[in-house]
Amino acid sequence: MRKIYLKGIKGGTGATAIVANLACALKKSNTNVIVLDLDPKNDLGLHLGLSWEHNTGWSNYNSLNAALAEFHCDSDGVIFLPFGSEPSRLNELQTVIRDCEQLKVDDNSWLLLDCPAHLDLDHFNLCADDIFLEVVNCDATCHSFIYKRLLKLNQQTNHWQHYFLVNRYNSASELEFDLLQLWQSEVPLLAPLYINKDEVISESTAFRNVAVNCAPYSVANDDFETLAGWLVSRATHND
């Protein structure tokens, strides 16, 4: 099973919307896609058709086997497991990840993990085949966080693939344009693509859906299909 971890380098970068839209884009290849919500905000289901009132998930159970009824399937065939309403401890996060890895699916299946921004990379048992996408926005705060993260990564022996992914990029903003140009020339591990700012993403969430369904000819749809294709190439290269 191919695993992709996504988290914001800080809160509010839009990582959960990326997880949901990416999952649906990957599903177009007729492969199994499972999405695990590790964020106590429990927002992932809002993008994948779950009712606003539903608030239970894996955290409400003692084990994954007991929580099997909480797996849901969206209209695209993406299988997802909400976080739920109970607080969880670090060892519980690691346990549910390990248990999801043992699900009976083929090796080409995808497991996407929506990770909370407040947890550091050290909290995840990353393997050599894993891809970790850290979502950033083109602003001064993320600029500072990127260099702090690079300093820490340089002090570690990283076996996984780590990339910074720019989200909500507004090419009309001179500041964002300049920051992106700077990052592309000086920041290692920057993904060679970015997700443009598109109102379609916010509008689709209001309908409990994803941009790739609500606006198939939108910029957002093109961006997520490009991201899915790039990740497939990275996973294949690593096999």
* Cα distance between residue 92 and residue 90, in whole Å: 5
Is 90 exceeded by the pLDDT of residue 212?
Answer: no
Please state the domain extents for the chain. Answer: 2-233
Question: Which range among 56-65, 118-127, 170-179 shows the weakest confidence by mean pLDDT?
Answer: 118-127
Q: Does domain 2-233 have CATH number 3.40.50.300?
A: yes
What local confidence, expressed as pLDDT, does residue 239 receive? 60
Is 70 exceeded by the pLDDT of residue 9?
Answer: yes
Q: 49-96: per-residue pLDDT in tens?
A: 998 889 999 999 999 999 999 999 999 999 999 999 998 888 888 899
Residue carrying the six token digits 């407040």: 118
Is 80 exceeded by the pLDDT of residue 233?
Answer: yes
Which residues have C-beta within 8 Å of that of residue 99, sequence separation ≥ 6? 63, 64, 65
* Cα distance between residue 133 and residue 6, in whole Å: 5
Three state DSSP letters for 166-180: EEEECCCCHHHHHHH
What local confidence, expressed as pLDDT, does residue 90 receive? 80
What local confidence, expressed as pLDDT, does residue 237 receive? 67
